[in-house]
Structure 1
């Protein structure tokens, strides 16, 4: 009896302790299984957003039974939009729809990301599977339940709790901006979307055809590059939005799997060709010309390899360099405009429009600004403005060139008339007038010689200013590019070692943020003064490479000597005290050093790339240290 009573008390104690723990575990589990309340009077479109649980599957092998196990560590989505970027992982999402009506409601679940390769949806009620969809860009378009560019998955929501599981996998980005639609309202919205997309596509087609006719009349190669860019972007847009797979090549599954990266590369390729030729970079700036020409060759190669290399590799490369390329094109346009090329103004406005559109779209995706029809279509509005303004740009440059030719003809005609008048005067002049003319010619010759001397002096000063960094009063990037090329040729010819040393001020942004940019300028000047006192041999080069980065070139110096100097410089910088506004500032620097006897196949870029790699190793090793690299 006493034993029975003890057992009863033990059971009650176990229940009293275990029930709260079980309840807490249940609450924690349901916290990652959010519930979407739904009635027939609810809004016709519901944005699921981040109200889902997420489970990362790095191996991509979890089954639906395994993800339903209570042991799985489901997590909340900690970002405004469920966008996980480029990843090789598979992702599981889950949420619950609570149908609070007494009748079954028909709804569509939309995933508006057409390029995902594997999309699977599971609909459970009370642990019983109701329907399972297997979709994705790797399956023929005809297998889709609803014929639409996006993934549309119909579900019949019974009264009560309906559990939804979604598995996504892709070689590109993983995004899950799910929407729950009333079917009638979905088709109405889809028609509106088709109309908007048709307008965009129509504008792009009109611009292609119109400018093709203009090319036939002008034979200006820039129109071919422009047409190539617009046509490539049009195909990229159709591929990205799923319209190409839905209506152009619904059976070409393999081609559809890499079409996006192909058209990204071709769009960037034609952008580089257009920028190079339209801005006349060959005659304006050799470095800018070679930069853009190198980018065009890079994109040509990328365009070819999209057909053979995995999409997961080519899309990452294309996406990572597309925005910098657009920024370079915009920078060069404003540079040309500020240097007096008025024909570049529409070009600058065009690229500014698309970058603003992309910035607005990115801000809305991150939740920084309101998400509405304008922000959702900001990139499309930007590309239309880009295409139209670029067309205006071409026409404006033709008019500008015509005006310049007319002005040149007018000047030439004026010169001709003046020459005839002068000739007539000479014929009618007397011998006295000839002697007076000789005196005037001699006087003007002297004036001209004096003017030429002044011009030469001004040119010398201008040359010095153009190769000197204004802040630090040491060589700038242009001086460095010219000087190292000469030193590389000499070292190659003589067979002597050449050292390239790159150094970067550690945490320089923190100096600017804490003490202000004037303090940062003071640090840069102090560092330049220190380096100037130690780099003074003939043939050695000291320059500010950009920002807080400096570069040193040592001729006929071994690796051991270079490392010794780098360590001395590093220690001197660490011990240097910089006075600024009654404050005492200290800085450190990281060094990357490469030393080798160059051979004819090696370029300046080989040395710079190796030194930059060593510099990044120094940064990764904790900064305030020296790292070396060898030429590949």
Structure 2
């Protein structure tokens, strides 16, 4: 029994160790057979000491489960030509945690770092999107390459062998294709960004962000991000697919809110807000889960979002919403590309990443559909705005026509009315002119003293209030001078009231002759008493003016026919800057006190209140 088991083991080892023969005209072999074993050895020496049990994989494609955390691959190669053959061993899967190749060289094995996660991109033997192991097999020689792979998630392991020139042709063709597709998607990102900067329409911003997330997802899936963008960022390499897939799916929510879902649908708008907030929480929380758990959760949530979007698009179709067909096609494409990616993750489909252009094409169509829908929405908004402006313009023109007709009718009626009332208007104007003249005469009589023809006390009361307010506002000095004819009662008693009235008129005229400024004015305050109102006049100026009037009067001889008289007067002055505009009588009261002092001190003098 033991001999039989030993014989089977040796036969298995022999079969698994059959080398792949590489002829002189070799170009490529996409399904390179190899053998694998689950072993935790850290290097080749430990592996050889552990006597591993190798299991053959003739198809060259191995599906890895999350339980296969550390495996070793054994790839025997045989050069049957007479020339040294340069070869490239390709492991086209950037999602593997760690890949190390042990290549025999000068009868010893060396470690070739080929992992995008553990080592920087610049340390790879060949700077490329895939893990490439460069080989040189001497003529008529046999060699074995050992590859150690550490992995924590369910994924696939495609192994292929290439001649360098053939691999360059292969990758150049696909890089050109994917470069064009990536350039088109990036151009749509820039187009939406430019449209947002010009129009400030928020749906262009959301569309640009969504297409940018799609672009990041594709460059991550096809390995370009590992090489060009974040080759040294381990966390983003592990969670990039999860993050960008979530981001490119839930960014449709604000786009739907501004394009397909009307603002009147309050409940649906509120539900989308909650869904958007939940998406942010899930995207932030998945980074705390292992990648093998985070990715299925992300797929499940993205499928739920895609189904929700399809339901919203179908509802929009039922109410014949704008651009509903484009949105329905867009979300069917989204559901299809998610299903296509999920099929590879569940091992329902297999193949190298570069052999899967359907993902890129679907996302390109999604980006085109987004840009087309947003462009149509902008054109529709513009057309609606133009239509509204045209309707308003037509309405304005109609209103203008009605207004002109109304004005014409009113003009005719006005002409008829004017012709009928012109005579009455003329008569009324004549009457009004007469009334105005009478009013002016009455106003003048109301302002003037009937005897002296100077302003009366009623007008003085109004004028002094105005000047007090001005003095307080402009902080200027206001002077009030009270004048009183000395011994006027004796004139009335000796010569009669007629001579007394003539004397009052003569004094008023003399006072008026001494006033030089238009703002200065004289008022008859009562009986033989006058008051001068001198705005913006200091005490010195007021005293000088009062002295001139007093001297002129005392030196004058008055001939009233029946009597010849000489007269004197006394003056009291008060000068100040008004503090209380509501109490103007303080000026007349204090000037009157100064006048009383002048009378007490012998008359015929000027006294300023101190």
TM-score greater than 0.5 by the shorter chain: yes
The question of whether the paired residues in 1 share the 8 Å contact of 2:129 and 2:226 is answered with: yes
In the alignment, the residues of structure 2 paired with residue 34 and residue 393 of structure 1 have an alpha-carbon distance, to the nearest angstrom, of 58
In the alignment, the residues of structure 2 paired with residue 55 and residue 325 of structure 1 have an alpha-carbon distance, to the nearest angstrom, of 40
1:54 is paired with a residue of what secondary structure?
strand
Give the counterpart of 2:324 among 344, 369, 382: 344
Aligned CA distance change for structure 1 residues 188 and 321 (closer, same or farther; 3 Å): same
Aligned CA distance change for structure 1 residues 374 and 385 (closer, same or farther; 3 Å): farther
The question of whether the paired residues in 1 share the 8 Å contact of 2:38 and 2:68 is answered with: no
Deviations 1:279-326 (A, max 9, x none): 21664483x555543432233124434666655554443344333333
In the alignment, the residues of structure 2 paired with residue 204 and residue 170 of structure 1 have an alpha-carbon distance, to the nearest angstrom, of 32
Shift of 1:334: 3.0
1:208-247 map, 5 Å: 208-247=189-228
Match in the other structure for 2:277 = 297
1:412-423 map, 5 Å: none
Q: Does 1:199 align with 2:180?
A: yes
Shift of 1:150: 1.5
Match in the other structure for 1:133 = 112
Shift of 1:378: 0.6
Give the counterpart of 1:318 among 294, 298, 309: 298
Q: Does 1:55 align with 2:37?
A: yes
Shift of 1:415: 11
Match in the other structure for 1:448 = none
| Bigger Cα Rg | 2
In the alignment, the residues of structure 2 paired with residue 345 and residue 270 of structure 1 have an alpha-carbon distance, to the nearest angstrom, of 20
In the alignment, the residues of structure 2 paired with residue 361 and residue 131 of structure 1 have an alpha-carbon distance, to the nearest angstrom, of 36
In the alignment, the residues of structure 2 paired with residue 62 and residue 74 of structure 1 have an alpha-carbon distance, to the nearest angstrom, of 17
Extract unaligned runs of 5+ from structure 1: 1-16, 420-632
2:161 is paired with a residue of what secondary structure?
strand
Give the counterpart of 2:9 among 25, 28, 33: 25
1:178 is paired with a residue of what secondary structure?
strand
Shift of 1:119: 0.4
Shift of 1:212: 1.3
In the alignment, the residues of structure 2 paired with residue 74 and residue 353 of structure 1 have an alpha-carbon distance, to the nearest angstrom, of 43
Shift of 1:154: 0.5
More displaced 10-residue stretch of structure 1: 356-365 or 115-124:
356-365
Match in the other structure for 1:39 = 23
Shift of 1:352: 2.7
Match in the other structure for 1:266 = 247
The question of whether the paired residues in 2 share the 8 Å contact of 1:86 and 1:316 is answered with: no
Shift of 1:229: 1.2
Deviations 1:163-219 (A, max 9, x none): 232222234443211221101222232333332232122112210111112123332
Deviations 1:269-288 (A, max 9, x none): 313322343321664483x5
In the alignment, the residues of structure 1 paired with residue 171 and residue 217 of structure 2 have an alpha-carbon distance, to the nearest angstrom, of 20
In the alignment, the residues of structure 2 paired with residue 291 and residue 73 of structure 1 have an alpha-carbon distance, to the nearest angstrom, of 56
The question of whether the paired residues in 2 share the 8 Å contact of 1:80 and 1:367 is answered with: no
In the alignment, the residues of structure 2 paired with residue 336 and residue 297 of structure 1 have an alpha-carbon distance, to the nearest angstrom, of 23
2:133 is paired with a residue of what secondary structure?
strand
1:66-85 map, 5 Å: 66-68=46-48, 72-76=52-56, 81-84=61-64
Shift of 1:343: 1.1
Shift of 1:109: 0.8
In the alignment, the residues of structure 1 paired with residue 38 and residue 316 of structure 2 have an alpha-carbon distance, to the nearest angstrom, of 49
In the alignment, the residues of structure 2 paired with residue 249 and residue 371 of structure 1 have an alpha-carbon distance, to the nearest angstrom, of 25
In the alignment, the residues of structure 1 paired with residue 69 and residue 377 of structure 2 have an alpha-carbon distance, to the nearest angstrom, of 50
Aligned CA distance change for structure 1 residues 139 and 281 (closer, same or farther; 3 Å): farther
Aligned CA distance change for structure 1 residues 300 and 34 (closer, same or farther; 3 Å): farther
Tell me how large the CA RMSD over aligned residues is: 4.2
1:113 is paired with a residue of what secondary structure?
coil
In the alignment, the residues of structure 1 paired with residue 67 and residue 393 of structure 2 have an alpha-carbon distance, to the nearest angstrom, of 67
Shift of 1:145: 0.9
Give the counterpart of 2:377 among 392, 397, 400: 397
1:165 is paired with a residue of what secondary structure?
strand
The question of whether the paired residues in 2 share the 8 Å contact of 1:112 and 1:150 is answered with: yes
In the alignment, the residues of structure 1 paired with residue 357 and residue 136 of structure 2 have an alpha-carbon distance, to the nearest angstrom, of 31
Deviations 1:518-548 (A, max 9, x none): xxxxxxxxxxxxxxxxxxxxxxxxxxxxxxx
Aligned CA distance change for structure 1 residues 102 and 22 (closer, same or farther; 3 Å): farther
Aligned CA distance change for structure 1 residues 389 and 24 (closer, same or farther; 3 Å): same
The question of whether the paired residues in 2 share the 8 Å contact of 1:172 and 1:316 is answered with: no
The question of whether the paired residues in 1 share the 8 Å contact of 2:206 and 2:254 is answered with: yes
2:94 is paired with a residue of what secondary structure?
coil
Aligned CA distance change for structure 1 residues 178 and 323 (closer, same or farther; 3 Å): farther
* TM-score after normalising by structure 1: 0.54
